[in-house]
Amino acid sequence: MQPEFSRLISTEHIDSAGKTHEITASPAECEALAQRFSLEGILHLSASIFLQRESAGRIKASGTFTAQIIQKSAISLEPFSSTICEDFTTLFTEGEEYAEEIDIDSDKEDIDFISEGRIDIGELTAEYLALAIPLFPRQEDETFTYKNEPEDTENTQKNPFAVLKDLK
């Protein structure tokens, strides 16, 4: 299956000096990613990624992405725009024999595998965007307030469905 935002880079062209790749999602790619991530929209997504060969079978990808997204507030359910800007680092390896040499407990970088001699930096960017999207988004000035019922002064039993009448 082809990812919505794909930018394939052949690993044979990556050397120890490294190279920076600038990528930007098209409007159609932004729309497809918004559907994938259940967003109201993605207005802009771009990344700057530096690829450098560390050793045989290992390539380091360090980058920054910026996205302007539209999502619904978890409090008011109104759509709003926000900007996400994140740094990321991933170490790509050609196979399990190389992966065994990597310190998996390291929290400095994520580990991924090279597929058919290529790295998809577009999908890499999309994955980091998905991780950065707030699970319970809200606008800066929004706060959640709970409407509490007044305490019952009598010892009468309350109807458990009484709170539903206020939701009309």
pLDDT tens digit string along 107-142?
Answer: 567 889 998 999 999 999 999 999 999 999 988 888
Q: What is the DSSP letter of 115?
A: B
Residue 56 near residue 29, CB atoms below 8 Å: no
Q: Quick one: DSSP state of residue 34?
A: H
Task: Give the 3-state secondary structure of residue 20.
Answer: strand
pTM, rounded to two decimals: 0.78
Q: Is a pLDDT exceeding 80 seen at residue 104? A: no
Residues forming a β-bridge with 60: 52, 91
Q: Would the pLDDT of 35 be above 60? A: yes
Closest CA to 72 of 152, 157, 142, 160: 142
As a residue count, the chain comes to 168
Is residue 12 scored above 60 in pLDDT? yes
